[in-house]
Structure 1
């Protein structure tokens, strides 16, 4: 799902890099700046061939013309590029130097209040982000807000929306909570005016972070709950990952450790998927704090070290300082004071170099606390005084009290009681002043916290339900598509089956037709060979010819010959209960079933012919089955037929050599038990004649055996006939 979202977002970015489009696209551009700054930055750099340089309006217009952009479009692109280059996720070589030059060049071509306000906002962002001068940054932002305040165009609303967000963050960094809340509230109001769920979700989340940092956990849960409800209506994985991280922080502050661990781990996994290692580090830090709050300091150290490795690789210097601070605290809790001081001094160096005094004051106080554990009172006094100086500069009452207390403890331990009186007196003065100030009403009501947690859980469940519903809809659609495809495949399969069945039937018909004698349409030569291939149930096979029918097709015509031959074959099958095959006109083959003595077979054939008014002698060749007593010996159908042809040739020779030409004759073969299978091998006529001479095959006939002439060599075979 994330992949499709990113593809759609990149398509939108490509469109926006070519023109400033309608209001929806302007809002989508703001969403893209927050959701996918790295991809947007690379697209912008590519679209304008950055860096570019100009010193006046004329040069800028010339560059815009060369790049085929209108000047206002190119100017807007440069505004966006400057914002993106200061995003902490965008890490590109030389971007800081290029950003400073770019802001200066944009100041040259700024010619209306919107342009001037944008440049002031960029200057504020640069001073705050790069130089860490938050007071100066706030001044630039307020200047930008004053310049744009009276304008109400959409681009002005978006700019004011951004300025209020950044001002809220800056005031939170400088611990000015009242103005921070004011700007965050206004930021949310502008988000609702822009009517975009992503921007509204971001604004609700910022208010949630504010109330979380100020200890108003019920209100924090309320805004995070609303943010989570809105996030369930969008498909932005980065925003959801950030909300998981914020929920982990809220649960941590509520001391609900299982929920804090669950959401912290979910956030870490989500950021790994998004390849956002900066926030993987922050998730590790939250998980470390959850362990630290439970007193599990060694486990906390492991998470802090993981975060430190990531931040060192990314070059996040301030984040490394915070990790050093946390590692120093953790090592002090397990009694490893030297290592704790080593980490805290590293953090001190970073905070001083970066001029982040709101972190430095906490670190100085922690150094004083750890030094107190080691009873290094000089070190306690030194860092307590440094913390006190910063606290006085920033008007931080709580930090002033802590620093003064450390000084008093150090003087007391050193027996310098007179010096200890002054810090204690200052503590009393600060506390008395705090007592006169009205206290903000507390919202720590167990029932309210429970209610907000239930709302949050309900929205989480709604989100899961919506996701499950989407998945179910996708599954239903997939099932419907698969069902349609299945129906189509079934129809195609049925059609293919029908065609295959028709083809099979046609093939069977073709095979059956192929086995018919072409003239008569009666089973013929191929059908007879097929039957011989599986001779089970056949007691004898015969081949006979009717001399008067051999030339009937010439004498009476093809149709008369076909009809006569077919009629005779049908009559023979009916009378003899045999299967008759028409080999060619006048030549027939028979498969006999049951006992059929040769003499009676010849008589029956003659009776059928007389009934059909066919006056012709019959010449018959016959083989009784099985040919060999050894049933394992198989005779090929073609050789079987050729043996019948030889027997028919012998019977025909008896008829031709007699004065009475009307006499019918038969000749049959029967192999003796000791006859080898080789007698039925090619060339068959020669092998059979030799087998007859050698007495391996017995010849039976109703004529004179000595008068038989075998057609192969037209010689009479007289050997052994007398003894048979």
Structure 2
């Protein structure tokens, strides 16, 4: 009976302590992220690191002296080794201490879990020290294989960490498919562990992945979920991290105010937490927000702030990225010396650290900067360097950009065989690559993503409202209806907007045309006269024999004749010609021409004109052989000498109409009448009734008339 009681007591103890032990491990992982420096100080003091042992026997003796159980001391040393490899930890000689601990722990490793941790540490060391990312991936996968079949909580915790590292590294080396697999496994394990902190971490990570793929709707879904979960946790680091990622989501949507608000708050939180590396990233996001708005000087200020933080802690690769961004900003400001200086500093760091995936894009930006300065030999040098890296890393976008710079530079250097080779490679790549479908306009893309974002927010709000409601089914129906209505309204609005734009363009064209023939007409003339490069001479010409052209030959044939005549006028006289009505044309000359010179030029074109003859239409030959006399009204602009006095284009046109009416009163051969004002002429002479005021002004000598006929024969119109 006593043995049975002892058995049940032991079993109960195991049931109680197993979940407690699991919670302790998860809590330590949270401390690892939230307060790594405090955790480091506590473990360093308790373990009295560094320790001296070469085998398990010596290790157990050390553990006993420290009043540790051997497995507990081994677990603490594993955490300590991982802490040495964290960027947030502030300690000296971190890599060497991590390597020492890894070697000591390797001598103790016996179980698959312990061996997997050694592989994790080795992979982290190689990735941080030499940027051997592919080798790190191999080590992490080997570690994962050792514990994949284990389903206890401790193994799941380690799998969670390994999938996190693998997803980040695959993203870094542009292996998107494998990255997505590990991101999903990372998230799946977080939900299996039922730990809100881990879930928020995984939702943020997968949101970052989708942001990098420009799948903004999916990214926002995960970021908003992470932000919602983190707000109910009492952990400032995860709250700052999710807010920082939310600011990036707002930035990608073009919602600058929200993006700046969240990025600034995240930067302040990171500063309070002493997370300089994260604060630097927040500063960089703020800089990018200003850069997206083309506020380049503000962007440079924030890039420099980030640079100071990275330089303070000797984060060389981050410094290189900041130099690259600053160089790009100066390039947009056309400050080529500064741009080249910062790009060279970035190049030096990327080459020193061997980070080819950053170096290729810096070389491309270098090539762009040199190309804009027409430094073709240097463009070729950096273009070739970028192409070599892009080929080795299989980066199609970088390959295409490098080939474009090289083709252009070789062509400018007259190295046509090399240019042709680059163009051939570019064409082959474009033919072999299936292009993604492109949206009709950038604004429609942005509107769609914002709509999806708003729908996502509404879904979360509605979910909160109906948690304790018995009408949950009705709420879901309402939500689906709202989504359908919003989507339909957006599509309908987009279609209507495109229709209105097309209609506006058509009407804007038609309003400038003469109604019957659809040739350039009266409104087109007024538009020409109001243009910045307004004409200096306006002539209104009436060809009497063409006045009834539309009635005698029909609208279709008369339009052909008139259009042909206008084309001849414009090509031979270098002017713009407008049809006012059948037989009446307005001429706009950019030069100031005397009336007699204007009439001679126009009459010469008329005398040598070759109207398009349709042999099937009667009487065309007669029209072709007739001498076409023209009557012309003429003015030179401006009509008033005082530049502060401006007349409307309608009044200027009526003035030349007045001159034509006067010329038509003589109606003998080629006749012109030109109107000009004297220097002291007041603007009042151009008030309504215009014709009466102009006639009185002629009689008083305020304006002058010039004609090739006898002035006394003119009958001046008086309205």
Into which bin does the TM-score normalised by the smaller protein fall?
Answer: 0.5 to 0.7
Indicate conservation of the 8 Å contact 2:227/2:246, yes or no: no
Q: For residue 289 of structure 1, what is the aligned residue in structure 2? A: 288
Q: After the TM superposition, which residues 420-499 of structure 1 pair with which residues of structure 2 at under 5 Å, given as runs?
A: 420-435=419-434, 446-447=447-448, 449-453=450-454, 455-456=456-457
Q: For residue 355 of structure 1, what is the aligned residue in structure 2? A: 354
Change (3 A) 1:106 1:208: same
Q: For residue 21 of structure 2, what is the aligned residue in structure 1? A: 22
Distance 1:391 1:70 in 2: 53
Change (3 A) 1:312 1:445: closer
Moved more, 265-274 or 422-431: 265-274
Residues 453-486 of structure 1: CA distance to partner in whole angstroms, max 9, x if unpaired?
45448869999xxxxxxxxxxxxxxxxxxxxxxx
Alignment partner of 1:340 is 2:343: no
Distance 1:112 1:207 in 2: 31
Give the Å deviation of 1:378.
1.3
Distance 2:161 2:414 in 1: 56
Q: For residue 530 of structure 1, what is the aligned residue in structure 2? A: none
Q: Does the residue aligned with 2:234 lie in a helix, a strand or coil?
A: coil
Distance 2:42 2:454 in 1: 41
Distance 1:457 1:351 in 2: 45
Q: After the TM superposition, which residues 539-688 of structure 1 pair with which residues of structure 2 at under 5 Å, given as runs?
A: none
Q: For residue 305 of structure 1, what is the aligned residue in structure 2? A: 304
Q: For residue 404 of structure 1, what is the aligned residue in structure 2? A: 403
Q: For residue 540 of structure 2, what is the aligned residue in structure 1? A: none
* Bigger Rg, which one: 1
Moved over 3 A (4+): 437-449, 453-463
Distance 1:78 1:211 in 2: 36
Give the Å deviation of 1:133.
0.7
Higher relative contact order (CA 8 A, sep 6+): 1
Gaps of 5+ in 2: 1-17, 465-719
Q: For residue 503 of structure 1, what is the aligned residue in structure 2? A: none
Alignment partner of 1:381 is 2:380: yes
Change (3 A) 1:346 1:439: same
Gaps of 5+ in 1: 1-18, 464-724
Q: For residue 654 of structure 2, what is the aligned residue in structure 1? A: none
Give the Å deviation of 1:163.
0.4
Q: For residue 150 of structure 2, what is the aligned residue in structure 1? A: 151
Residues 432-462 of structure 1: CA distance to partner in whole angstroms, max 9, x if unpaired?
1112x88899996845642324544886999
Change (3 A) 1:200 1:160: same
Distance 2:432 2:48 in 1: 60
Q: Does the residue aligned with 1:233 lie in a helix, a strand or coil?
A: coil
Q: Does the residue aligned with 1:22 lie in a helix, a strand or coil?
A: helix
TM superposition score normalised by structure 2: 0.60
Indicate conservation of the 8 Å contact 1:217/1:449, yes or no: no
Q: After the TM superposition, which residues 705-720 of structure 1 pair with which residues of structure 2 at under 5 Å, given as runs?
A: none
Alignment partner of 1:169 is 2:168: yes
Q: For residue 35 of structure 1, what is the aligned residue in structure 2? A: 34
Alignment partner of 1:236 is 2:235: yes
Indicate conservation of the 8 Å contact 2:105/2:118, yes or no: yes
Change (3 A) 1:277 1:438: closer
Q: Does the residue aligned with 1:161 lie in a helix, a strand or coil?
A: helix
Change (3 A) 1:270 1:439: same
Indicate conservation of the 8 Å contact 2:253/2:446, yes or no: no
Distance 2:163 2:85 in 1: 17
Q: Does the residue aligned with 1:295 lie in a helix, a strand or coil?
A: coil
Give the Å deviation of 1:275.
2.3
Q: Does the residue aligned with 1:91 lie in a helix, a strand or coil?
A: coil
Indicate conservation of the 8 Å contact 1:221/1:456, yes or no: no
Give the Å deviation of 1:211.
0.3
Distance 1:453 1:358 in 2: 35
User: CA RMSD of the aligned region, Å?
Assistant: 2.5
Q: Does the residue aligned with 1:92 lie in a helix, a strand or coil?
A: coil
Change (3 A) 1:362 1:457: farther
Distance 2:122 2:461 in 1: 40
Give the Å deviation of 1:88.
0.3
Q: For residue 200 of structure 2, what is the aligned residue in structure 1? A: 201
Q: Does the residue aligned with 1:109 lie in a helix, a strand or coil?
A: coil
Q: For residue 245 of structure 2, what is the aligned residue in structure 1? A: 246
Q: For residue 227 of structure 1, what is the aligned residue in structure 2? A: 226
Distance 1:119 1:439 in 2: 46
